[in-house]
Chains A and B, each alone.
Chain A
């Protein structure tokens, strides 16, 4: 059974700080997706990583896929209050998710 372990589950930081969210598994994934979800809405896809060692950037967000395709990370530079939300990593044939990271960025 594939499992995704996401950490930290809660993160409260000040505007301008940097942060990293981790998504780990003992299984190999053909791809992993990162989503952001606002309260009362469905998750919105941020990025899909497919190739081991791949790095993708989306403005201040940097996503990395581990060489062995068992882990991924999301790094946010100079966080803004607008980055507040629930971040989810997901993947696998049944599209399972990690525990999620509830990020709060205070002005």
Chain B
């Protein structure tokens, strides 16, 4: 089945530094990638949608200069949290859709970000 590999699975960083999270589609071409943020015991909040080769579309309230999304190829999308602060600590998950997946979407395993 379709697999999305997300790395790192967890990261601790100092306040003010930047962190990059990668999502790779291993056996299909991800034409669209979604990035979500999730707080404990809560649902997934869509942050942005990216299509390969295009600028990401951010949801209302999400700072595009803080959460940089790059979808430069059909198999790789990255989310960079710039100048991270403790309030950015959260669980970040990517999801991909692509040819051959039908109506389904495949999720990465998530990244637990802790900013200290």
Task: Name A residues whose Cβ lies closer than 8 Å to a Cβ of B.
Answer: 6, 30-31, 33, 35, 40-45, 48, 50, 86, 88, 90, 94-100, 102
Q: Which residues of A contact B104 (CB under 8 A)?
A: 33, 45, 48
From known contacts A31-B103, A94-B49, infer whether A41 and B44 are also in contact, taking CB-CB under 8 Å. no
The 8 closest A-B CB pairs, nearest first, are A42-B107, A100-B43, A31-B103, A48-B103, A97-B44, A97-B43, A42-B109, A42-B110
Q: Is B28 an interface residue (CB 8 A)?
A: no
In whole angstroms, how far apart are the Cα atoms of A100 and B34 in the complex? Answer: 18
The CB with the most chain A CB atoms within 10 A, among B108, B110, B112, is that of B110
CB-nearest residue of chain A to B93: A42
Q: How large is the interface on B (under 10, 10 to 19, 20 to 34, 35 or more residues)?
A: 20 to 34
In whole angstroms, how far apart are the Cα atoms of A94 and B102 in the complex? Answer: 15
Task: Name B residues whose Cβ lies closer than 8 Å to a Cβ of A.
Answer: 4, 6, 34, 41-44, 46, 49, 91, 93, 95, 97, 102-110, 112
Q: Contact between B41 and A102 (Cβ–Cβ < 8 Å)?
A: yes
Q: Contact between A95 and B110 (Cβ–Cβ < 8 Å)?
A: no
Separation in Å of the A48 CB from the closest CB of chain B?
5
Query: Would you give 18 A-B contacts (Cβ < 8 Å), ordered by A?
Result: A6-B43, A35-B107, A40-B91, A40-B110, A41-B110, A42-B4, A42-B93, A42-B107, A43-B93, A45-B104, A50-B103, A86-B41, A86-B43, A88-B43, A90-B44, A95-B34, A95-B97, A100-B42
